[in-house]
Amino acid sequence: MASTDAAPRPPAPSAGDDAPRTPPPLVADPAALRAFLDGPYASVRDDVRARLVDHAPILDERVDLPRAELRRRVRDLVVEIGRQGQAVHGFPTAYGGGGDIGASVASFETLAYGDLSVLVKSGVQFGLFGGAVLQLGTARHHDTYLPDILSGRLLGCFAMTETGHGSNVQAIGTTARYDPGTDELVVTTPDDSARKDYIGNAAEDGELAVVFAQLEVAGEQHGVHAVLVPIRSAGEVLPGVRIEDCGAKLGLEGVDNGRIWFDGVRVPRANLLDRFASIEDDGAYRSSIENPDRRFFTMLGTLVQGRVSIGGAAVGASKVALEIAIRYGLRRRQFESATEGEETLLLDYGMHQRRLLPLLARTYALSCAQEEVARQLHEVFSADTPEADDRARRALESRAAGTKALATWHATRTIQECREACGGAGYLAANRFAALKADTDVFATFEGDNHVLLQLVAKGLLTDYSSEFEDLDQFGMVRFVTGLAVETVIERTAAHQLLERIRDVLPGGRDGWDQEAGLLDPDYQLAMLRFREEHQLAGVARRLKAGVDAGRPTGEVFSRVQDHVIAAARSHVERLVLEAFVERVRALPESPARDVLTALSDLYALTTIEADRGWFLEHGRLSAPRSKAITREVSEVLRRLRPVAGELVEAFGIPAEVLGARDLVG
């Protein structure tokens, strides 16, 4: 039962040698835990907390505001965020920014404690719209637009998704044809399936749009490029542009999503965002990246911050739900115990602990994973030569995709469980869950559908970031089967190699490691997750090869292996998440907070293994008795953590005014 990690716990205070070793009770210091969660940007987060308190009234008011008024309130808040210079952390100092991408992500994550329409609309304005101008444009675009964008004077859209293509955006239908006669680009929506759809800021407020379109120069197609197209002036939609309101949505009602059609709208050639490709004065198309697929994915890759941000927002929303549900569970009593004379606290029920505390542990784990992906984002994007280290970029993109998928699904599941754990009171809009549930629901879809993102992760693993990258369709997962260097993959993951790789990661490289190691040994936990990931990946490669060798159509081969692909990617990301958590905890000095976090890390690791114990049993990595022992150990850890549950949510640092739900939390 004792942990065997680097800094061993002190021996239990009581007991002779024969007595079972009972670890001492955990003692939680919310300030220390908060410092752990807040990480290097604690002061940035505190600034956002203070501003959220100022804006807290919207959380109550939105409950009864009609959509039109809510949109206005949200727009005013976003403009205010711009005017106060709060949205500039990640932009270059030359444009009044802070030049600190890590700060920008920390700020966004913390903003997710508040109203999520404000979060998403500011994400559209400063992250997607401003980010596209910054990343895809060049100095003249920066000089012309960034000051107004960052200050909230110029609201705009990121017009990529079309009705017909949301996931496979490389196949969008909007066209931008260069007309050398007038030196203009002509932007056209060829049919309804190519209308831009679900575009934030489009229905009411956006004046300028970054429009993604198939660029045609001198009769030649060059793939998807971004063009700045004015869509509104002084509140009036411009000629040639048609806009329709997407109307009521499941959530995020404060964001004005809309559809846009372009009917031969002409803009100057200078409106092409030309960092990666340009039309020269002589009318010739020129790009530093030869391969059109690679060019497209390089452009997309610069926008990865959006995914990192949404993952962080999902973790933030999960924290709000968990704090409400756990504090309710620490106040609410129901059903009398025969021996105890008063009704029992909800959180003293074993089932209630089982429902909530593993989600809490996973939230802490995902917080650490978010911090790691944000750190990598900061590193890659702060480098002087962004095209330089392709490998680091692709590792970042894969990690961002995977973390976003797991974090957003986690939010959906956590908010649902917390709502149910608060009973009828949880159903009242005043108690936050209505908004949390509705607003986060689309997180699984936007910034990349989660299943598509996990396929992207899997493909990266299969190709091992090989030089085949340029030939692969990064998003389309059917085509990749033929594009894939199957032989290479098979070689890499052949059975004996697999075993060697696994042995490398084992505690001490022993045989039988997985039957002897302590369940609370993080090296054991990590080795289990690494084994699963490698084994599943090898299985995918083997199945792909078998299907291709048998001459089956690639579509069918892919379809049959797709659930294995998703499973392998998920396993990979769960391993990354555990690694991030374990490494952060290991880096702490010995302290009561470290003991609490170690228990939480154990809980995340063991419930993750337990949830897939069928797989580990099938593959000989768990015996039946050991599998049952894991479940018993989980129960033990839950009981150890129960007394510090309140401090664990207090550590989120959600101001009371922002948390709301006063009926529930008291």
Residues recognised as catalytic = 447
Q: Report which DSSP code applies to 270.
A: G
> 234 or 550: whose CB is closer to its own copies?
550
Measured distance CA(279)–CA(415) in Å, rounded: 49
**Cα-based angle 14, 17, 21 (whole degrees, multiple of 5):** 55
**Please, which of residues 397-416 interact with its own copies by CB under 8 A?**
412, 416
Q: Residue 336, interface with its own copies (CB under 8 A)?
A: yes
Indicate the DSSP class of residue 451: H
Footprint of its own copies on residues 442-471 (CB under 8 A)? 442, 444-446, 449-451
Closest by Cα among 662, 660, 661, 645 to 30: 645
CB 59 within 8 A of CB 111: no
Of 108, 158, 178, 198, the one binding its own copies (CB under 8 A) is: 198
d(C-alpha 265, C-alpha 238), whole Å:
9
Among 71, 75, 419, 584, binds its own copies (CB under 8 A): 419
Query: Of 21-40, which residues contact its own copies (CB under 8 A)?
Result: none
Does 339 help bind its own copies (rule: CB under 8 A)? Answer: yes
Contacts with its own copies in 635-654 (CB under 8 A)?
Answer: 635
Residue 443 identity: F
Q: Which is nearer to its own copies, 268 or 555 (CB)?
A: 555
- Contact with its own copies (CB under 8 A): which of 335, 385, 467, 511? 335
**By CB under 8 A, residue 628 contacts its own copies:** yes
434 binds its own copies (CB under 8 A): yes
**The tokens of 78 are what?**
């976003």
Q: State the minimum distance, in angstroms, from the CB of residue 542 to its own copies.
A: 14
Measure Cα distances from 76 to 69, 122, 236, 544 in Å: 11, 11, 19, 53
Our finding on whether 498 is near its own copies (CB under 8 A) is no
- Kindly tell me which of 143 and 420 has the beta carbon lying closer to its own copies: 420
Instruction: Please count the residues of this chain forming the interface with its own copies, following the rule CB under 8 A.
Output: 88
Task: Provide the 8-state DSSP code for 127.
Answer: I
Contacts 24+ apart (CB under 8 A), 296-300: 296/170, 296/223, 296/224, 297/474, 298/387, 299/136, 299/224, 299/225, 299/226, 300/169, 300/474
Interface residue with its own copies among 354, 501, 543, 586 (CB under 8 A) is 354
Contact set for its own copies, span 550-569 (CB under 8 A): 553-555, 558-563, 565-566
Q: Cβ of residue 178: shortest distance to its own copies, in angstroms?
A: 26
For residues 220 and 215, what is the distance between their CA atoms, to the nearest angstrom? 8
Residue 350's H or E segment, with its range, is helix 350-382
Nearest residue (CB) to its own copies, 104 versus 403:
403
215 DSSP β-pair partners: 176
Q: Which is nearer to its own copies, 233 or 635 (CB)?
A: 635
What is the smallest separation between the CB atom of 431 and its own copies, expressed in angstroms? 9
Applying CB under 8 A, among 2, 42, 171, 485 the residue interacting with its own copies is 171
Contact between 428 and its own copies (CB under 8 A)? yes
Binding mask 235-254 for its own copies (x = CB under 8 A): -----------xxxxxx---
Judged on CB neighbours under 10 Å (0-12, 13-18, 19+), 257 is buried
In three-state secondary structure terms, 498 is helix
How near is the Cβ of 99 to its own copies at its closest, in Å? 33
Nearer to its own copies, 327 or 378 (CB): 327
State which of residues 15, 427, 503, 583 lies at the interface with its own copies (CB under 8 A): 427
- Please check whether residue 360 is in contact with residue 326, taking contact to mean a CB–CB distance below 8 angstroms: yes
Closest to its own copies by CB, 82 vs 358, is 358
Regarding 165 and contact with its own copies (CB under 8 A), the answer is yes
Cα separations (Å) of 101 from 97, 108, 373, 423? 10, 11, 12, 40
* CB 423, min distance to its own copies, A: 5
Q: Are 259 and 202 in contact (CB under 8 A)?
A: yes
> By CB under 8 A, what part of segment 476-495 binds its own copies?
476-479, 481-483
